Amino acid sequence: MSETAQQTARSLQGYRIELAPTPEQRTRLAQHAGLARVAENFYLEKVRAALAQRAAEQTYGVAEAELTGVPWSAPQLEALWRAAHPDRYPWFTAEGLSSRVPKEAARCRASALKNWVASRAGKRKGRKIGFPAWRKRRDGGRFRYDADRAKPADARTVKLPGIGAVATREDMSWLTGRIAAGTARVLGATIKEQAGRWWISFQLDLDRTALNAARAAPAEADACGLDLGLTVFLTLRNDDGSTEEIHALKPLKRSLRALARANRALARKAEGSANRARQARKVAALHLKVANQRADFLHQTTTWLARTKRAIAVETLNIAGMVKNHRLARAIHDAGWGEFIRQLRYKTDWYGAYLHAADRWFPSSKTCSECKQVHRGLALAERTWTCVGCGTNHDREVNASTNLLDDMLPALEALELKRGQVAA
């Protein structure tokens, strides 16, 4: 197990399961999702109004200390909701909806505003983010509960405030057993609708010590370099000299014809009709199937790697820049490279494997793995090439994965030496 895993026995983890609500519960779930949307838009309206008033006052020369305050924080936004909802939204109380939903909506808006301010000031990593947008019905239904207000009642039922006991489509013994034993604690829950189906995602504080130790990669397992591609999703070069390939699943590419046919049928349906709503659900179901196929493939692949390799070397890819090439963008998104690396990071940390990320500018494909001469003119379309220095014929993916493995080995040897000294 890695030093990080030893020091941090508990970790934050999500647990997602599909609900099996009755027709009446579906209505209540939709009402709470609508409440979250209304509350978020109410908060955004108040912030926009305060910003507009503040800008107007500045043009009149009002002193900074006397300008209208902007309700940036969740408590300020909640106070505005409590003051306004009896007159503006009387249905909130009349329908007996949960008060935790607008509370969490305030936290979501406050977090989005904080991120926007930090992004404008250059204090937030990643690309610039815009001002929070209005929530719309077409964005899909979702809402949150804080702490353990929503929690499993038993292995096949979850208790949701304002809705009641809702059955699940799968057994939750994995979670309920750990909650009872005190090794898991619910920190919050998000309920989301996709293609007419409802899911609940629990955010957990989980003790993974026993899980990680039972499923850790063996000390004698291979170390490997891993090259990501589109035709061949993964090319692995193990330190014993063997090579492995995992081919791309391409769930979107395989579903393009069905999606095109379903979207044409949707376009022929009259606006606002029941037939159009029914066809829209069919289109959404196709997109959900594609997303689920991709997620299943990525989870199985990353779990297998983290449990069977003691060390993994990967590229540091500028995916945001790569998808600007519109000839490759769809294939890159379909492959899910970014999600693959994200999953690999936390799973290697769980199971004690070492993950090495090569420098972004490391020329893994262009460097000869035999003589280390760099072929600067190598084109993306060239899948095989011959080194002008030593004459070795290279397969592009195998050569890249070999170079990534070689780049990792010095750091891996130093880490294993350190571990040996600590154990002694």
> Tens place of pLDDT for every residue, the chain, 424 residues?
444 434 445 789 999 999 999 999 999 999 999 999 999 999 999 999 999 999 999 999 889 888 999 999 999 999 999 999 999 999 999 999 999 999 999 999 999 999 999 999 999 988 889 999 999 988 889 999 999 999 999 999 999 999 999 999 999 999 999 999 999 999 999 999 999 999 999 999 999 998 898 999 888 899 999 999 998 999 999 999 999 999 988 999 999 999 999 999 999 999 999 999 999 999 999 999 999 999 999 999 999 999 999 999 999 998 988 999 888 999 999 999 999 999 999 999 999 999 999 998 899 999 999 998 998 888 888 888 899 888 889 989 999 999 999 999 999 988 888 877 666 6
Structure tokens at 294: 């991709």
Q: For CATH 3.30.420, list the domain ranges present in the chain.
A: 218-251+290-423
Q: Is residue 143 helix, strand or coil? A: strand
Nearest by Cα to 53 from 41, 70, 65, 39: 70
Identify any residues that bridge with 309 across adjacent strands, giving them in sequence order: 222
Helix axes 337-351, 274-308, angle to 10 degrees: 40
Class of domain 218-251+290-423: alpha beta
Structure tokens at 277: 């709503």
Nearest by Cα to 267 from 255, 285, 282, 251: 282
pTM: predicted TM-score of the whole model, two decimal places = 0.88
Amino acid identity, position 269: K
Structure tokens at 322: 């790569």
- Is residue 241 classed exposed, middle or buried when 0-12, 13-18 and 19+ CB atoms within 10 A define those classes? exposed
Structure tokens at 312: 């993994």
- Integer Cα distance of 296 and 228 in angstroms: 18
- Integer Cα distance of 405 and 236 in angstroms: 9
- Integer Cα distance of 40 and 8 in angstroms: 35
- Integer Cα distance of 410 and 358 in angstroms: 12
Which whole-number Å values give the CA distances from 280 to 46, 274, 285, 287, 418, in the listed order?
33, 10, 9, 11, 58
Structure tokens at 339: 């999600």
Which secondary structure element, helix H or strand E, spans residue 142, and what is its range?
Answer: strand 142-146
- Integer Cα distance of 403 and 405 in angstroms: 5
Structure tokens at 187: 């920190």
Return left, alpha or beta for 126; rule: phi > 0 is left, psi -120 to 50 is alpha, else beta. Answer: left
Nearest by Cα to 299 from 334, 339, 252, 332: 339
Q: DSSP letter string over 90-124?
A: THHHHTT--THHHHHHHHHHHHHHHHHHHHHTT-S
- Integer Cα distance of 361 and 355 in angstroms: 18
Q: C-alpha angle 142/146/149, rounded to 5°?
A: 100
The length of the chain is 424
10 Å Cβ neighbour count for 97? 22
